[in-house]
Amino acid sequence: MKRNLLFVTYREDDFGDGLSYALDLAKMMDKGIAILLVHKKKLSKRFEDLMTAITFAEANEHETAREEMQGSGSAGSGNELQHLLREKCNHSGISTSIYSAVNDTGSALKDFLKKNNNVEMVLLSPSITDNGNMTSRELKQLVRTASRPIITMAKHAHVA
């Protein structure tokens, strides 16, 4: 069985730079790539957004309800995103598997690695490690429990 790289990113964020690096690395190493899309919003927050949208819909404020649902990330946009990802990966010639997770990043990654033993290396996108989305303590704990190399990506600072 061919070993894969695992690219972890937030579903809601732009991941173009991180994905292109992960695809280049997979191509150089002659590996496949698995992509784990983690939901940034907590499940309780999405539930609150859904309940707000229902309230607007019951009050015949259908346009406001649609806007609220689009803000919470509907299932349709997730399918479009997965289709776009698969297209980009297929264009690069890399075999790809795409997964989604609702848990926080650390828990989602641990669960994924328990179920999939064909992951050789984990790549965390810049959106995961930037702006305190994952604390250094969470990252250290993840490194200890993952038993695989974990690579964190960072965005380059633009020089003006």
- pLDDT per position as a tens digit, 100-143: 887 778 888 888 988 888 899 999 888 887 766 777 888 888 88
Mean pLDDT, the chain, rounded, equals 79
What pLDDT does residue 157 have? Answer: 61
In a domain, 51, yes or no: no
Q: What pTM was computed for the model?
A: 0.72
Question: Residue 6: phi, psi to the nearest 5?
Answer: -115, 120
pLDDT band for position 155 (cuts 50, 70, 90): confident
Neighbours of 159 (CB within 10 A): 4
In a domain, 24, yes or no: yes
In a domain, 159, yes or no: no
Percentage of residues in the chain having pLDDT higher than 70: 80
- 41, 73 contact by CB (below 8 A): yes
pLDDT band for position 77 (cuts 50, 70, 90): low
Section 146-153 average pLDDT: 86
What pLDDT does residue 45 have? Answer: 63
- 96, 32 contact by CB (below 8 A): yes
Measured in whole angstroms, the distance separating CA 119 from the mean position of its chain's CA atoms is 16
Number of compact structural domains in the chain: 1
The encoded tokens of residue 62 equal: 């259908």
What pLDDT does residue 76 have? Answer: 43
Q: What is the CATH number of the domain that holds 120?
A: 3.40.50.620
Pure H helices in the chain = 16-29, 43-58, 62-71, 75-92, 105-115, 126-129, 136-146
Which residue type sits at 120?
Answer: E
The domain in which residue 115 lies consists of: 4-40+75-152
